[in-house]
Amino acid sequence: MSPRRARRAEPSDRRGRAAPPPRPLDAVLHGMERVEEWPDGDWKVRRVAGTAPGKVYRCPGCEQEIVGALPHVVSWPNWTGGEGERRHWHTACWRKRADRGPGRSRY
Ligand SMILES: [Zn+2]
């Protein structure tokens, strides 16, 4: 409302733009992806900021649903055809995957 206030806001606003925060979507699209080595092979793991609206995934680790904007991981085998085996996991469940023991489904 007052002109003094408007002037003061300008320089600080410009400083704020010098380092814009990374947008989560960009991070997902541009390489938040890495290869992890597991006893059963190499797996590609991608961190996801959240699911698309209305999408629900079932976590293979705990058989619970991954809902809403919950950050989680998508993983798939890092070998030919592995792209078709993508699974959405709770981040914690993915980390505990190796504790599930032999004989369990790896997905
Ligand atoms: Zn889970």
- Compute the distance from residue 62 Cα to the ligand 1 centre, in Å: 4
Q: 0.75 exceeded by the pTM? A: no
Separation of CA 30 and ligand 1 centre (Å): 25
Query: Counting beta carbons within 10 angstroms of the beta carbon of residue 5, is it exposed (0 to 12), middle (13 to 18) or buried (19 or more)?
Result: exposed
**Highest mean pLDDT of the ranges 14-23, 57-66, 68-77:** 57-66
Task: Sketch the domain layout of the chain as residue ranges.
Answer: 21-100
DSSP 61: T
Calculate how far, in angstroms, residue 101's C-alpha sits from the geometric centre of ligand 1. Answer: 16
pLDDT at 36: 94
**Ligand 1: distance of its center to the CA of 74 in Å?**
12
